[in-house]
Structure 1
């Protein structure tokens, strides 16, 4: 049957490799459309092309438990058991991130604990984004380092129970693995050194500061005595008395030189008459402004009438000409859009073929036709 494991396959964890996936999920994968159409008679060489077409990772979704293409390819790899070198090339591939995620997931299912730490820990430095689909069929955003960290720590991933692996501490005690060095240690050391250099040294404290308050007190007392002596000398100065007498003489002379003037009786009546005359002139000016405003209002009404005639002339323009013009513009836009879309599609296909040929060359497979 098409769902049987290959004859020369080795058992993993003491059982059939396909049995690592639960029976109900395995039966749903066998009944899925992707398995029947895309995974039928799939070999290790053709598996590379299917892996490059992946767009997201995930397990099963929906109420009727539909498997994702990622999980279908995982089961197909468990069925045909590709060589370890192919899986290592999947993991080391940097062009297709979902191919790397597929290889890492298969290595976690079938590899030993030593191989898992050896090949998966370097992927913790890969921070690219991944699209993941949850059980409700909703897409979520995750990252490659987060995906690999869950493979090494969680017991269940993509709705498949992961085999137990030995702790890293045990391998370090057996000298099988070196202690893991985080990539952030160097950054933390540089940050600590830069912060230590930026801090200015504290100035040395002088021993004579304790005597400053006493010196300030003596200086204030001496300054107060000097001011009091100066004020006393100024009060007894005869020149100050002479200046006061001269000031009084000037005030008396100013009073004598300014005689009283008689009041003007008729000046106020004449000022009131001038004010009324100014009000009359202002009234005449306002009346002239009002007449000018009426003239401008008439010109504005005439302008509105001509504007209405012009608008009516524009409304009588042929609707057929405007429809033809809009249709012609729409046709030109569609032609330009199709031209850009065809050019962009051709560049994407050529780039994908080049990347696929590079990956197939690493695996020793013949290149694809352009």
Structure 2
């Protein structure tokens, strides 16, 4: 805890713009923030990182996940919190997301977007990754298991918790379509069927 101008601040709160009407650091529960600050990875690998050098750390990741073992935070979770602290420009985050050759950097960007972006932007940016079938290693309390980027992104769009973090409420896609914030989603399968029908007609 620290005091500034007579106001008591929680450790690790960000002096930047609010996200979802709250201090961005509160997107990660306090107990998990404390575990991040105490972790060796945070102390040794996250000190002094910028948006550019964080990218270097992210491409070194070999798995995603929240906590493991005796509730220790994964490097993935530490870097996600560092991104929240840094609040990189949207252009930088979206470049991370486009990095098809670096799947864990891409997974990190997707997680950050889900935590911090407005709902319509979440759908627009993450739905294309539902066509990405690269394998990911996921670490949790029970060890490692295999997943895929499309499954991981589907969880980001539909589950309440991912990587042990409670996600901000995300309205259903149909609600945003009704509000005209999103166009109706075009199914890749539907496009293929239309193409086959055109071939048959011709």
Aligned match of 2:122: 116
Aligned match of 1:4: 12
Aligned match of 1:37: 44
Say which structure is richer in helix.
1
Give 1:178's match in structure 2, choosing from 176, 183, 186: 183
Confirm or deny: 8 A CA contact 2:14 2:25 kept in the other structure: no
What is the TM-score when the length of structure 2 is the normalising length? 0.88
Asked if residue 160 in structure 1 is aligned to residue 176 in structure 2, the reply is: no
Aligned match of 1:145: 150
Aligned match of 1:18: 25
- State the Cα RMSD in Å: 2.0
Structure possessing the higher radius of gyration over alpha carbons = 1
d(CA) in 2 for partners of 1:96, 1:25: 26
Confirm or deny: 8 A CA contact 1:124 1:144 kept in the other structure: yes
What is the TM-score when the length of structure 1 is the normalising length? 0.49
Q: CA deviation at 1:186?
A: 3.3
Instruction: Give the match's secondary structure for 1:98.
Output: helix
CA shift digits 1:28-55 (9 cap, x unpaired): 1111100000011212221111111111
Q: CA deviation at 1:159?
A: 0.2
Which structure 1 residue ranges, 5 or more long, are not aligned? Answer: 198-370
d(CA) in 1 for partners of 2:39, 2:23: 21
Give matches, 1:196-275, under 5 Å: none
Name the structure, 1 or 2, with higher relative contact order (CA <8 Å, separation 6+): 2
d(CA) in 2 for partners of 1:173, 1:140: 38
Say which structure is richer in strand.
2
d(CA) in 2 for partners of 1:135, 1:24: 16
d(CA) in 1 for partners of 2:20, 2:177: 23
Confirm or deny: 8 A CA contact 1:5 1:80 kept in the other structure: no
Aligned residues: 192
Confirm or deny: 8 A CA contact 1:59 1:134 kept in the other structure: yes
Which structure 2 residue ranges, 5 or more long, are not aligned? Answer: 3-10
Asked if residue 51 in structure 1 is aligned to residue 58 in structure 2, the reply is: yes
Aligned match of 2:8: none
d(CA) in 2 for partners of 1:192, 1:128: 30
Q: Which runs of at least 4 in structure 1 moved beyond 6 Å after TM superposition?
A: 191-194
d(CA) in 1 for partners of 2:27, 2:14: 15
d(CA) in 2 for partners of 1:80, 1:25: 18
